[in-house]
Amino acid sequence: MKQFQNFEEENIHYWTGRTDVAAMEAIARQTLLSEKQRPEWDLTVLRVAGMEAKADPEIWKAVWTKEERINNASTPMFLVEGVKKDA
């Protein structure tokens, strides 16, 4: 797998080394938000609730270390901001 190759090439510790990844992914597929396109889904929900909303789908580039980027490559972080509109 290419992701594991990145760990070796970059000499980075693999955080979930003994985790049952198949079981973890099976559980994730059963959760409500796994089927949603995020952060688009979050923005829609906030706007329907009457809020101003914006997202930064690339916030991970500013806050993650190189090790975090490689370990979390399959689940990138994003930022969603919702602000209640004045009545």
Query: Is residue 77 a contact partner of residue 60, using CB atoms and an 8 Å limit?
Result: yes
**What is the separation of C-alpha 74 from the centre of its chain, rounded to a whole number of angstroms?**
8
**Could you list the residue range(s) of the whole structural domain that residue 62 is in?**
2-84
Integer CA distances (angstroms), 84 to 22, 38, 56, in order: 40, 20, 18
Sheet strands (E) in the chain: 51-56, 79-84
1 and 14 in contact (C-beta within 8 Å)? no
- Beta-ladder partners of 37: none
Structure tokens at 52: 């101003």
pLDDT at 66 over 60: yes
What's the CA gap between 69 and 6, in Å, rounded?
11
17-62 residue pLDDT tens? 667 878 878 888 888 888 899 999 999 999 999 999 999 999 999 9
| Structural domains in the chain (count) | 1
Q: Taking the model in full, what pTM does it have?
A: 0.69
